[in-house]
Amino acid sequence: MSSRTDTERFLRVTLDLVVEVTDAASLRETALADLRVRQPDPAEFEEQHDQIVADETGASALRWLISPEAVLGLVDRIEEIDPVEAMLEISESEGALESAEE
């Protein structure tokens, strides 16, 4: 038997954002600088560093720079909800999103 009340509802919010990387080398350098500032444990540092350096697309750099807290911050001002979890996925795209009108 569920402990949820009839008023509890879970909603999945999906956001698609396409960005154009105009300078992948600078994006990687920005991520590496942020990595050095945050100073994770040595094993994580090495893993993240290697991923950022090896990824020519900039996806690993962007993944490092966008924090889960920032994603949850999109809804922090809404008092009627409690954010449960946030997941971030970054992958290559064919270009801009198609318009819903097309």
pTM of the model: 0.74
Task: Answer yes or no: is pLDDT of 5 > 70.
Answer: no
Q: pLDDT tens, 80-102?
A: 998 888 888 888 888 777 765 55
Question: Higher model confidence: residue 15 or residue 55?
Answer: 55
Domains of the chain: total: 1
Whether 56 maps to a domain, the answer reads: yes
b/e per residue, 41-79, with b = 16+ CB within 10 A?
eeeeeeebbeebeebeebbbbbbbeeeeeebeeeeeeee
Whether 57 maps to a domain, the answer reads: yes
Whether 53 maps to a domain, the answer reads: yes
Supply the range of the domain harboring residue 28: 24-75
Whether 7 maps to a domain, the answer reads: no
Residue 40 contacts residue 50 (beta carbons within 8 Å): no
